[in-house]
Structure 1
Amino acid sequence: MQHTQESNPEEKRTRAVDDFMWEWNREDGDVWWSEGYAARVGFPEEPTLASGAYWHSRIHPDDQVWVSESLQQALQKRQNAWDTTYRFQKADGSYIIVKDQAHLIWKGEAVRLLGTSTVQNEALYRSTQFYLAAFDQVPLGMIVTDANGQIVRANASFQQLSGYTAAELQQLSYRQLIYPADLPVYNARLESLQTNSSTQLESRLRRNNGQVLWVKQTITRIPELGYYFTTVEDITHEHLHRQQRERLLTLVENSSELMVIAGMDDQLLYINQAGRELVGLPAEVSLSHRKVSDFYWQDQYAFVRETILPALIEKGHWKGEFSIRHFQTGAAIPVFASGIRIDDPDTGKPIARGFTLRDMRPEELARQTILESERHFRNLVMQAPVAIGLLKGRKMVIETANEFMLEVWGKTESIVGKPLLSALPELAGQGFIELLQDVYDTGNPFYGNEILAQIIRNNRLEARYYNFVYAPVRQSDGTITGVMIVANDVSDQVRAKKEVQFSEERFRSFVLGSPTPIAIYTGKELRIETVNQAMLDTWHRDGSLVGKTFREAFPELDPQHFYQLLEQVYETGRTYNAQEDRADLLIDGEFRTFYFNFTYKALRDARGEVYGIINTATDVTAQVNARQQLEETEQNLRDAIELAELGTWSRNLNTGKIRCSSRIRQWYGFAESETDIETFMAAVHPEDRHQVLDMISQAVAFRKSDHYSAEYRVVHLQTGEERMVQSQGKVTCDPQGKPYLLSGTSRDVTSQKQAALGLERLVSQRTRELQQANELLQLSNRELEQYAYVASHDLQEPLRKIRMFSGIIREMNDLPEQARSPLAKVIHSSERMTLLIRDLLEFSRLLKVDRVLTPTNLNTIVQNVITDFELAIQEKSATVEVSTLPTVNAESLQMNQLFYNLLSNALKFTKEGVPPRISITCERLIPQKVQAYALPEGAYYDIRIDDNGIGFSENYKEQIFEVFKRLHTREVYPGSGIGLALCRKIVQNHGGLLYAESEEGQGSTFHVILPDPSEAFRSASVSF
């Protein structure tokens, strides 16, 4: 742009007055500065025109970012003025420190900046930068706000705490970070600064990510500048810890059981509200002069002093029952007590005794809930002001120390300017000077937590505990020039921590040691926070569920009503009590039904808001089941009596009165349900009265037993109808053993008696007919067996001749060719007929019962059979594996035939192109399998014959054992169709079982079940 030619006269006059003038035209990006400015920085002494980028490049690299951010902030806020201080590079490469002040000209947006530059004192600038660097490096959050709350500056610690960058914070008011509900308190504290120099408060602060923190703020007003200086410390963890202690306190104070703590000197230290109510001790009555002995009569206290307390001190705990007295009425109160010895956490020595006492009077309301924890614990955490000090150089010269730091050191402002060791010589040898010098030398900050320091305050040496940070203070070039100290006196917190640990341990001992099942759920999600062993046993769970929500721990209860009840108690705060409520719990993968008496009671914090639920429970499953079983038994008895058409009666042996049911009255003809022995005997048939009286006398006198049983005739007193009655009764005695009641049932057996006589005659007739039929059947079986045996022998002779003559004809040379095929079929048919007759002959032999069993080694039998098939095995490349087989009582020829047939089938029914693989194994059957097979009691072997043949469908596993039953044609697999039937008959003849398992195309398994003769011998020997 042609700035010098186009400038107006007013601008030329301004430049003549002040040589340190500059102008930035933002429309075309050019920057102009005056001749004086150019001369000061070593440029040609004439008006200079350059680009904005060139001007920006002359700013010191460390200052470029924040100078740009400062200008951007002025533009975004549409300010009319802007000023900043930075380092500008001269022509010779050196830097001067300039302060720019500019006026912004707006035309919708800032189009030009007119400004002046003033060279600053370098020493003052460096001092300012030093303090700014120290401010930014302090590990405690610090901010500077203006009178409207706008954030002017925030250090790195506050940026990290809030989650905002420095630029973002400068766009915000600090009030925007304060939690809305806490703003009234914050504003009130700011108002108080009109009369006070500083104030402190705790409030919530919202981070950039929405997280809410609890912070402690110390606000100091700087009236000269109209600014507010605020330190911000994160105390979220401490606040949560305090809330937890308040909850514990609420639990104990609101417990429904008496909880009392006494010193080792018998002085009563604490008794909760339930305890005061139980013993009649009003809340306004002080405990200062109360002794444990006041709770007992003299003789009862002697027992406590001589027996209970020594046991408690020795073992650390005691449980049992005794009585205490009511302070106002003097009434005895039986209680179940659980006591613990309370030891000092540091020394381990006993310092107190704690007891929980359960009122035994309302036993039906056993196991009362423990309510909210103790309220009497006071807040032990005292907040101390933040102390800040700045030390310079390796000698640690005190350059700055605020009033809180001076208070920590116990000194006045007179120590400023002195080396730290000169001002506080008592620090020598405590290690603090060495730590400061190490931070100065290495640049690594040091964080101290609860460190003991010996400080002279008020002319005496005091032991105090501090949390502190030693942080290096760096110049812009990274040079360390000093150390910043931020300290906080936590002496009270350290002492309070020990007391809190003791308090928490005491409460935990109360809850975990209580015999009453107790669980505590916190939060709306009902997370299981505390649960004692008694409750875990009631739930049949272990401690792994602590920390889980109720729904996570017991998902099986979700469809039931318990979770809804808990939510209702949490929302309304109303206690819920249940008696014999059913719960189906998942235990070891199975649902089991339980019944509980339980209470859900809301837990409230100091503000009265519900934060959890305390649950006490009693498992009453046994009682409920017993009652239900009794009711069911009674109902079953009534149903059985009605179903069996029984009549019931009872006779009072003292009064002679007899009570009877309606059915008895109907049989006997009684007018009333109660009668006497004379009327009863009048209804008994005269011939049976002596028998009935004699049986009653024997039962009452216990001559034979206390049971009465008689069968007699009854004659209806009104109609004269006669019936046969069978009565059963039992004598009941009083506690002294004297009989007082005879009760029982009677049954009308008239029709049964009549039917029994007819049945006896019918049975006798059918028995004679059955004997005759058995004789005829035995004769028929013998004839059939003889016929089959003779027929098979007689048929073999003509077949041998047919085969012989057919063979001769086949060898004739002049036999026509057309005759050879029919002749071959004749020979083949005769061979099949011979095989069939031979198998029939063998089957008929198996029907004979005259067989002798001898010990037979199956290993020998199977090896002989394998030898017989040696050629077939080689031809088919078969593999036969045989394990060790037992010796059994058998006919060896039949065993040979059994395994011959089974091995033959395994080699016959094979897959084409697949080498046969046969295995024969043996194992002893366990008793459960013997029972499953419905075999006689004893020991058995299971011999398995497995093959990889063609197999068969499971549908045919029984049909294959039928005579002449074939699954394949003779042309494909030759055979008579009797082989497996022979095998089953052989096994049955030996007292065993034969069955098969198979899948089509997957091979077959035949099981031969045979008795173990050695086991049978041992059993017989034992019986003998």
Structure 2
Amino acid sequence: MQALNNVFHFIRGSGEMSMLIRGFDWSQSSLGKPEQWPLSLRTVLGIVLNSGFPMFLYWGNDGICFYNDAYIPVLGKAGKHPSINKTYKEISPETWHLVSPYIMQVMETGEPIQLENQLIPLSENNKKEDHFWTLSYSPVFDEAGLVNGVLASGIEITERIQAVHKLEESEKRFQNLVQKATVGIIVMSDENMTVEIVNDAYGKLIDKSPDELIGKSLFEIIPEAEPYFRQIANKVRTEGKSFSTFDQPYSIHNEGNRKSGFLNLICQQYKEPDGKEGIMVLCQDVTEQVIAQKKMEESEQRAHSIVESAPFPIGVYIGREMRIALANQAIIDVWGKGNDVIGKLYSEILPELDNQEIFGQLDHVFTQGKAFHARNQRVDIVVDGRLQSFYFNYSFTPLFDSEGHVYGVMNTAAEVTDQVLARHKIEEIVAERTKELAEANSNLQRSNAELAQFAYIASHDLQEPIRKVSTFAQMLETNLQKTDERSLHYVSKIKDSAGRMLVLIRDVLAYSQLSKKAEMIKPIRLGQVMEEVKNDLDLLIEQKMAEIIYNDLPVIEGVPLQILQLFANLITNALKFSRKDVSPVIAVSCTVLEKSRHAHYQLPFTKGTYYELEVKDNGIGFRQEHAEQIFNIFQRLHGKNEYEGTGIGLAMCKKIVQNHHGHIYATSNPEGGAIFHVILPEKQLRIPE
């Protein structure tokens, strides 16, 4: 019986897991009966079961897991306890994918792994909740020196992490306050505090490698820690009472270098299977957090000072009743009620705001937690004994505590009375000028209508006498067949002049009637337009032996008759001004106009697509200095005896393009001839008034 107790000494404790392991029938397990278990397994399992830290042991090729009483709450919340003779994957399949890489790495490399602030989603009450842990995965060697298991220990820091997150949310100025802490674990035995187990994280904390620490007294390595820590360590080891301290200053010396900071320290007793007592120490370096906390306090003091000295009004009101906790001199001066305002209610200081919606705005910000901003808001305040009107830009911003609850409202403001009154005056002047402009515009529209009516009547009335002159000239020419050649020449001159006059009058009439009504706008296939132009000009094209090239022309919106007239005029112009003995070649191409070039041409549509169409010919061309002149009505660069025409065709092109919110210009072709650039929108959008 005594021999059996010696075999089971590592599970003879009174803990729940010790009893469950003792009571389980291991004969059918891949591990066999406990008396067959290797010494290394029994030794480490003894440490696990007697530890106050949450631990589990992953053992062997089958990955059988053992855990201690401190680990029970982790499984108990998910209803997974007890779990005996099971693998980790069987116990916690939802976290196996997170844990297995570290276990396999330790099994393969024999190197420990330290994880800080590790997120582990655990199931509680049938739902997953995020938990944060500081974890250590350490290899367990068997009697042959091979890694046959992994010891995992950890400290849950969920509450602390959540507290830090809440601090980050409430103090946005200090988003970098909380950083990952370095966590170290060291296990020491006997009164000399001989290091038995130590991880890399602890070694880094004191700038030593684990090999330099194992088997040596802690106070031999860090003598400066002995005056403070020896008594605490012995008490934990002998009495079994845990010890913890937070934000504890520390300082160590290593090869002439001094390292100092702050620690969170937890000491826990443990007993080895042979009865030897020791302690396990968890160290967490919180130097950055402590320093950041001090900086935050200093920053808050600086912020308070900045508020006091700010040149613009700032006030802080606490509670739903809006009690004044802070008010700088600028806002006190605006209120005009003297300096004795701190601790009083906002409504008590400014009762005249009762019917001005401001009290309701403050209450809404406090209850809803959403900021309110006002611009150019009129506020009537009693100053020097009389109610006066002022204008402000002001904001009410909710203030949140560490739990996310609104505890007050911050009020910032800027007086803009002078600017608002000046703008009101400008608006009055603008309104008056707008009225005058509207009247002038109306008169202009009436004048334009009268002018268009006059042009139509004049053109129409002029056509009749000119037609008669032409008719009588033809009759006279017929009756004077036997007259001398000089008389016939004069009659011919009269006919030609009358014909040109008739064409001119018709062109003027067409020019005056160019318009673009919304109901006339339709989708236009420019390729089909070019086909119609070719059909209309087929005799002239054949006479000139001309070639007209175009392809892939887009569909646009516009007035079909005007667009047809536009391209007919451009093609006719190219045919008319062709070179002698050279067959005309006229090419029409199209590209999408880059957005960056819209402003250059002062195009009215800021959205949508513009196309740039080029009509290129190999004719006589023109000098570039005449590029704008050719679009003026009645402007000609050549004598009427050289090239027939009225000088209205390109002017009509320009007006048609303008009616369609586009742009037209011409350039001289370096290869000879001219290029006409026509920029038209894909859609006829409405121009904002």
Q: TM-score, normalised by structure 1?
A: 0.34
Higher relative contact order (CA 8 A, sep 6+): 2
TM-score by length of 2: 0.49
Structure whose alpha-carbon radius of gyration is higher? 1
